[in-house]
């Protein structure tokens, strides 16, 4: 199936998919607003008592391990198992992978529960998840996306997942397919929750696409292009966040495709 970014955004807005997020306290508000802005419908639900019911009516499940607790992990596992049973795409954001033994153990449990359609993280997180010995800095990356290419390929083969690595150039790997997305601005690294938002948008695109590789590429392109558009109006972190949400809401499918810088390698 040929990649068509304009059609992918059009499909998202026409469907307004419900995206179930089990995500961290830090980013809940911003990612919910980003999903609304681009045209999706977010729900933030982590209680073990209801996650299975919520997954059943959602188009995709986004699991973000930013703020962990045993009860949240229980909800994540129940939701992932239900998503796998009902054929709903799972997007896993391994926030801070490699930072602590507990975080690593939780990721092992989650990946044993169900294979994600997309795993999206920064280079350090992807390398740590693949077993590379790398020094992490909390949730921040100490490596470039180019450094993580082999780790991304190994993870993709191991779990059958699309691996999306954020960086100056985003790298998306699915088996023998690789895409490079060169959009974005440096200021995006100075605002908390941008990576988490990229994972949420991947969930929105995955909910309306039969190809998780195309969904991951679409999300990376939308993030980067809207970051560039926001930077035209806002050069400081506070105002940039608002301008970014405005760009997500305002951009047309044709304009997104026109401004995207996506290259494929097979």
Residues that constitute the known binding site for substrate: 44, 193
| Other Cβ atoms within 10 Å of 210 Cβ, number | 9
The low-confidence residues of the chain, meaning pLDDT below 70, are 133-146
Match 């049973």 to its residue by tokens: 85
Binding residue ranges for ATP: 120, 166
> Comparing C-alpha atoms, which of 68, 137, 164 is closest to residue 109?
68
Per-residue pLDDT at 223: 98
Would you state the pLDDT for residue 138? 47
Contact by Cβ (8 Å): 173, 152: yes
User: Which pLDDT score is estimated for 1?
Assistant: 72
Position 145 scores a pLDDT of 58
Annotated binding residues: 44, 120, 166, 193
Strands annotated E in 139-252: 162-166, 170-174, 177-181
Listed in sequence order, the residues at least 6 apart from 238 whose beta carbon sits closer than 8 Å to its beta carbon are none
Q: Pick the closest to residue 163 from 189, 134, 128, 138 (CA basis).
A: 128
User: What is the set of domains in the chain, with CATH numbers?
Assistant: 5-265 (3.40.1190.20)
Q: Residues of 30-59 as b/e, b for ≥16 C-beta within 10 angstroms? A: bbbbbbebbbbbbebbbeeeebbebbeebb
- Predicted pLDDT at 133: 60
**pTM exceeds 0.85:** yes
Q: Give tens-digit pLDDT for 218-227.
A: 999 999 999 9
Structure tokens at 31: 């990612």
């Amino acid at each position: 199936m040929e990649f068509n970014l304009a059609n992918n955004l059009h499909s998202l807005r026409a469907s307004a998919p419900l995206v179930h997020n089990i995500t961290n306290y830090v980013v809940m508000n911003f990612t919910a607003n980003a999903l609304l802005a681009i045209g999706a419908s977010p729900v933030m639900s982590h209680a073990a008592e209801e996650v299975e019911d919520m997954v059943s009516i959602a188009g995709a499940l986004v699991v973000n391990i930013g703020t962990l607790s045993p009860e949240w992990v229980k909800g994540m596992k129940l939701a992932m198992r239900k998503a796998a049973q009902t054929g709903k795409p799972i997007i896993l954001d391994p926030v801070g992978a490699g930072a602590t033994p507990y975080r690593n153990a939780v990721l092992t449990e989650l990946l044993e529960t169900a294979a994600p359609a997309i795993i999206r993280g920064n280079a350090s997180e992807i390398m740590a998840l693949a077993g590379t010995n790398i020094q992490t800095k909390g949730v921040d990356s100490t490596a470039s996306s180019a450094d993580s290419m082999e780790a991304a390929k190994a993870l993709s083969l191991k779990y059958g997942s699309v691996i999306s690595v954020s960086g100056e150039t985003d790298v998306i790997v699915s088996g023998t397919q690789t895409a490079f997305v060169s959009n974005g601005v440096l200021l995006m690294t100075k605002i908390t929750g941008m990576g988490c938002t990229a994972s949420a948008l991947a969930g929105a695109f995955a909910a309306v696409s039969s190809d998780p590789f195309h969904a991951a590429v679409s999300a990376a392109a939308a993030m980067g292009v809207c970051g560039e558009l926001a930077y035209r109006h806002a050069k400081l972190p506070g105002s940039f966040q608002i301008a970014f949400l405005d760009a997500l809401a305002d951009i047309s499918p044709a304009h997104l495709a026109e401004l995207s810088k996506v290259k494929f390698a097979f």
